[in-house]
A and B are shown apart, each in its own frame.
Chain A
Amino acid sequence: MARRPLMTRLLTAIGLILLPSLALPMRAQAQHLLVPMDDAQRNHLKAYGLAFQALKTSLKVEWLLNYRGGAFLLPDDATLRRRAALDGVSVEPTTDAGVASVRAEITGGNMDAVVLERAPKIAIYRPANQPPWDDAVTLALQYAGIEFTSVWDDEVLKGDLAKYDWVHLHHEDFTGQFNKLYLAYRDAPWFVQQRDRDLLTARKFGYDNVPALKKAVAEGIRGFTDRGGFLFAMCGATESLDLSIASFTVDIAGPFSDGTPPAADADAKLAWGRTMAFTGAHIEPSPYINALSDIDGHQVNVPARRQPLGTFSLFDFSAKLDPVATMLVQDHRTIVQDFYGVTTSFNKAILKPGVTVLASEEGAPWAKYMHGDYGKGSWTFLGGHDPEDPQHAIGSNPTDLSLHPNSPGYRLILNNVLFPAAKKKPRKT
């Protein structure tokens, strides 16, 4: 048997010494932590919390758009490793060479790396005493471990929104008609409490009724967006916010909310030039029909008009030319089960020109998820109430997200939370 050269034996010996450390990749020091967001990720929702945590501690975060489901690249840091282990988030320690290879792959495809600069200051518009339904954003942020502040009418009217980068709205009816739940729930304790609370606030700020109060609140939110804020709205807040903004000088509220019927020519007087997403919609004047307008394509609370749920598809955008839209649709699934809400979807026929539709149901006349600019800020609307409870009803138990750690629908919400952290790049299209 031929004797091996000395150098070969030496290298083999070194290899044997190094082998145990290679077998423990999590313990070995790497330069980066890659957080995959494709099917290799065990907990997609908490991965956003990990990225947020990194931003909070002033670490550099890169969002690798369209790379492995929208992966995050974080510096290798003991605190982040610990947080990932606690939260069950899959991370892959990666060396500089590994990152260089990833960057080469990104350069060659419809992918891009976006630097996230700082943790956005987040406010959720929600009452102190929670009504008998849940807010998917609150659930998602609590589960992911992302900090937020709750604000309500008082804070909005005092101008406190200026303190935040990102404001979320969920189920609120900004037309002040209590989502037209009066007929069914007028005697329910939570309804009575909600009405009394709103009336008290209205009086405190010198408004005659709840619709007037909510119009002022909607105006505050409009101003926040116009001045450069990021607005994310779901469910009934999408439709009612634009209706409220459009009806700034006209009465569209039913008699059960302000004592007078809507103006006879309300439709004609709506000021669509002020709104964010819709134009030319028609209000539903009947107090007996549980719909605010024809904006919602599904009309879940009007049985004769209700449309069945299908699935919606997320659109592809050019990561390098359209990074904002691309960020908002990062997901490990492109087709997602639809879910009802007070407003489930948006009639495409009445969308303003310039609105970017991010997701819609194939062959259906409605959009599900959309985005647009408004003044110096931007807004995103996602229809539906709870992505993991398609038929969520009043009084239903809140969704336990630890049972849905890979929810593609909830990922859309969390994309919006991180998107304001992105370093601004001029849009190229």
Chain B
Amino acid sequence: MAGCRRWGLLCLLVVSAVAALAPSARPLPAQPRTGGTGGSAAATATASATASAQDSIDPLAKAFDAEDKNDLRRAADAYRLVIERALAMPIPDGDRLAIALLGLERSWAGTGARDSLLPLVQRVLIVRPTDPIARTLQLRTLLSVNQDDGARQAFLDWRRADRDQAAPYREYAKLLLDAGRARAADSLLAEAGRQLGSLNAVSGEAAQLHVAMARWNSAAIAFREALTQQPYLETSALYALARAPIATRDSIRTVLQAPPVRLLPRRLLASLETFWGEPRRAWTLLSSVPVDDSTLASWQEFGERVEGAQSWQVARDVWGALLDRRPSLATQARAAQAALKAGDAAGALAIVRRTMPDRDSTIATAKARLLLPIEVAALGELGRAAEAQQRIEANGAALDATARADLAPLMVNAWLRRGDLEQARRAVQASDLADDDETLGWLALYDGDLATARKRLVRAETRRPELVDALGLLARVRIDRSAGMGQAFLTLARRDTAAAAARFLALADSTGDAAPALLGMAARLMAPPATARAATTTAGWHAAQAVWARILTSYPRSPDAPDALLASARAAAASGDRTAAIAHYERLLIDYPTSALLPQGRRELERLKGTIP
């Protein structure tokens, strides 16, 4: 597999190199004009004019045109003509020669006549003995037709012509690695080290060699060395090292973060950490690099990447650090937005309210457009709805109708977070949300009007987790009105999960068949799955365990019972009680053989028992 991936990467690099060379010098093919509707004489005249126009077309353009049309034989003829003409000049044009040679290679490879290139390349080398393109083509062609001895001789000739240069070693090693001949490449690079005095000039190839042989530590050392001279290797290094097995990653980390602290190895390691799912570690690495323009650019790029990966806490820290070093309104907005999405409303508010020296911050409209929605959302999350309303009014002059419409749902949410249904309704009336199914559905639910809530929420456009939870409960509860249920959801909207859990628990006994669903909801609020590892000793977890036990004892045939078993098993495993965890998992598998949770449960059980890695 490693070989295939290496192939893929190197092929890509070769293609990119060719593409980079070819199109830049590629003129547009001349368009022959078509004649009128005259008689045969006119047609002959037109044909002859066309022929003459064709003759005057640059053969390179002809070659490109033919290649575009997949007429590879005609393309090969034209490329050959370019080479012949170039060789006839006292000083051949190296660029045209290179383009034509590469084109000829493509064309002849397509017609199965790749080895025909060799005599022509030989002629080019007589005139230009150190031409790197011709030399590389010669090596590549010889290797592709399995003339290993010929390739070795061609390499020796190049080395003689280009004494003390790394290029012959580098190109030959790349081609050997391309062909999967890691051992031959190893010998060649050892030879390079002896002849050139060090491996510095071929460290990129040495690194690729180590990767091919799964010598990850050596690969990291070689890449670190290579990056000092060839910073463009960073992407190759990332793709190469990213597939290092978990057990070998620490050694890569040690190499790339060894002193002195330099941006490139740190940035490479940060990219690797992000790829390996460790964005926090990545930021720790990047944030300790001495700050200059390049570092800040790297931070910016990293911030965008973690934003894309929705690692909001890391994104908050990255944009916050950038804001400290290079303040701007845009960075302030991104930092505050990331903080808000990370669940840090207080942090978001603090960021929004920082005074920026940037010129933009004095422009009220821009500030209102970018920062006010975040400020209102943060205030809403913090239960400070009235203050949020005041902020909107204070910025009234800077807000147009669209901006006001955008703020309306935030204010509805702010009032709901406050638990003030009346104000929330007023905010809805004052906005264009009066027909919005989701908003009206939530308001009905908080009112205890379950029938309307059921009808409205099912038509909501979003499928946020809290909406799915609400719809799940509404589907199980058969009654149409329940003030208690409305209060429970409203308490939840205020983010008071403990009180909401208590309300759902209290309601359970009065909801008939839906009781286990309410109990399950209460347990989820007491012990959110995401906190399993960290919080198994908290009171919430103990309370949740009692609720799961109640579901299993009182409602063993309910659809919530397998959920309760899986949650109990996970809790037991997280608290280190392996025996209890296994018992819960086994009960899930035995007693609920048709549950959709079975595959998860079985996999977790196998991992716990050590039957899978």
Q: Please give the residue numbers on chain A whose beta carbons come within 8 Å of chain B beta carbons, in ascending order.
A: 26, 82, 85-88, 132, 139, 142-143, 145, 183-185, 188, 288, 290, 303-304, 306, 389-402
Contact = CB atoms under 8 A, between A and B. Distances in A.
Q: Which 9 A-B pairs have the closest CB atoms?
A: A391-B1, A398-B613, A395-B214, A303-B181, A303-B180, A393-B2, A402-B612, A395-B245, A184-B213
Contacts of B244: 395
Interface string B1-13: 1111000000000
B148 interface: yes
A92 to B, nearest CB: 14
23 contacts: A85-B590, A88-B589, A132-B247, A145-B611, A183-B183, A184-B182, A184-B186, A185-B213, A303-B184, A304-B146, A389-B1, A391-B2, A391-B3, A392-B1, A393-B1, A393-B2, A393-B214, A395-B216, A395-B245, A395-B247, A397-B245, A400-B612, A402-B612
Interface residues of B, number: 35
Contacts of A132: 245, 247
Interface stretch (B66-74, B561-569, B598-606): B598-606
B611 A142 contact: yes
B36 interface: no
Given A143-B612, A188-B215, A391-B3, A396 B245 contact: yes
Given A85-B590, A401-B612, 15 more contacts: A26-B593, A86-B590, A86-B602, A132-B247, A143-B612, A184-B186, A184-B213, A303-B180, A304-B146, A389-B1, A391-B1, A391-B2, A395-B247, A397-B613, A402-B612
Interface string B205-238: 0000000011110000000000000000000000
Contact of A85 (B213, B589, B611): B589
A396 B247 CA distance: 10
Among B146, B182, B216, the one with the most A-chain Cβ atoms within 10 Å of its Cβ is: B182
B307 interface: no
B112 interface: no
A304 B183 contact: no
B590 A88 contact: no
A188 B590 CA distance: 47
Nearest to A88: B602
Contact of A304 (B181, B246, B590, B603): B181
Contacts of B186: 183-184
Question: For the complex, would chain B's binding face be called helix, strand, loop or mixed by DSSP majority?
Answer: helix
Contacts of B605: 86
Given A183-B183, A303-B180, A391-B4, A397 B246 contact: yes
B248 interface: yes
Question: For the complex, would chain A's binding face be called helix, strand, loop or mixed by DSSP majority?
Answer: loop
B597 interface: no
Nearest to A397: B245
A391 B244 CA distance: 15
A401 B593 CA distance: 21
Given A85-B590, A391-B2, A396-B1, A143 B181 contact: no
Contact of A400 (B180, B589, B598, B613): B613
Contacts of A290: 183
Contacts of B465: none
Nearest to B148: A304
Contacts of B180: 303, 306
Nearest to A390: B1
B390 to A, nearest CB: 57
B308 interface: no
B119 interface: no
Given A85-B593, A143-B612, A184-B183, A402 B606 contact: yes
Contacts of B357: none
A397 B2 CA distance: 12
Nearest to A85: B590
B610 A402 contact: no
Contacts of A393: 1-2, 214
Contact of B611 (A143, A183, A185, A395): A143
A390 B2 CA distance: 11
Interface in B119-146: 146
B18 interface: no
A143 B179 CA distance: 37
B129 to A, nearest CB: 29
Nearest to B590: A85
Contact of B610 (A142, A288, A396): A142
Contacts of A86: 586, 589-590, 602, 605
A64 to B, nearest CB: 25
Nearest to A391: B1
B116 to A, nearest CB: 23
A391 B214 CA distance: 13
B183 to A, nearest CB: 6
